[in-house]
Structure 1
Amino acid sequence: MTTERREPALNADERAMLEGWLDYHRRTLALKCEGLTDDQLRTASVRPSELSLMGLVRHMAEVERSWFRRVLAAEDAGPIHYDEADPDGEFHLTEADTWQEAYATWQAEIDAARRNAAGFALDDLSKGLNRAGDGPFSLRWIYTHMIEEYARHNGHADLIRERIDGATGE
């Protein structure tokens, strides 16, 4: 798999710009994971942290699901990797967890996010609330938050990838 990534057009309208930057950051995380084995993708950053590239992908699948399915569309979509007993379950990897499964789940959540967002204008408010009971949120706010979420975690991914094999860069 080779991930291609392009910055949004400099003269795009607001929605295309927001969607373009979100896709850019989604692809950035995929690029940071490319070419690594499952063991490398499970490698934690530094002790005592359990933060790994596979964990970040699983986390972002949860985040996509939460904001675009539960909050935006008010779908009854339960968590994928966590529960009340293990609220950080997406980061608690086992040997049974594979990149193939993590990547497929993440991509499925991105596809669902795109489908749900297509039914809303930027100023439309979400049908649901977040886990804290806050909201409703405009689609514009959700897009902006998601760009921030990916950008922050892509910084983590940069450091983890460099620790694994020395690869650096965008």
Structure 2
Amino acid sequence: MTTSPRPHRRRDAPPPRTGNTETEVLRGFLDYLRDSIAAKVEGAPEPGIRTAVVPSGTNLLGLLHHLTCVERALFLGARITDWKATFHTAPAQTATAVVARYRETVTEANEVLDTCTDLGAPLPRSRPDTPAPAVRWALTHMIEETGRHAGHADIIRELLDGATGR
């Protein structure tokens, strides 16, 4: 009797232990979610990583590309004119390149956040035509956005190759 291989099951990482300040808690949870979604994309099989498994067209690589664009818009002041397009990547873009760009963007966003000492102050941005949100709002929104899409990624990855866990 042969048995089928077991799907990869990652140990489920608990929420992070953070410092006690509001800034440490918000940034700790955001970084935890950022790492979680990047890990969901890393090692995912081609072409499944680009394959839509739901009618909306959502796929793993597109989710990470979208979050890269959100981070760039929110923390770095990038102008995004077509949000729907951010959920798709060009066929030539490798998963390794998309993950690397996401991680680079997170590093750049964290460099901006490192200069923000007042959570109630507006984010420093390079777009003078658009009012910047408060740092607290931006961090909370990015936690919500990343958490939402990390949940999508959990389900998509499990459907692709059975991999589970954070």
TM-score (norm 2): 0.80
Aligned-pair RMSD on alpha carbons? Answer: 2.7
Alignment of 1:16-95 (within 5 A): 16-46=24-54, 48-70=55-77, 77-79=78-80, 84=81, 87-95=83-91
Matched, 1:163 2:159: yes
Matched, 1:125 2:118: no
Task: Find the aligned partners of 1:36 and 1:112 in 2 and give their Cα distance.
Answer: 25
Alignment size in residue pairs: 154
Task: Find the aligned partners of 2:104 and 2:18 in 1 and give their Cα distance.
Answer: 29
Per the TM alignment, residue 123 of structure 1 is displaced from its structure 2 partner at its CA by: 1.8
Per the TM alignment, residue 22 of structure 1 is displaced from its structure 2 partner at its CA by: 0.1
136-145 or 18-27, which moves further after superposition?
136-145
Unaligned runs of 5+ in 1: 71-76
Task: Find the aligned partners of 2:143 and 2:154 in 1 and give their Cα distance.
Answer: 16
Task: Find the aligned partners of 1:55 and 1:21 in 2 and give their Cα distance.
Answer: 22
Aligned to 2:3: none
Contact 1:59 1:90 in 2 (8 A): yes
Larger CA Rg, structure 1 vs 2: 2
Identity of aligned residues (%): 38
Change (3 A) 1:78 1:137: closer
Q: Equivalent of 1:141, from 137, 143, 148? A: 137
1:117-148 Cα offsets, whole Å, 9 max, x none, are: 11112121134599xx5x44211111011000
Aligned to 2:5: none
Unaligned runs of 5+ in 2: 1-9
Q: Which has the higher contact order (CA 8 A, sep 6+)?
A: 2
Contact 1:29 1:154 in 2 (8 A): yes
Runs of 4+ residues over 3 Å off in structure 1: 127-130
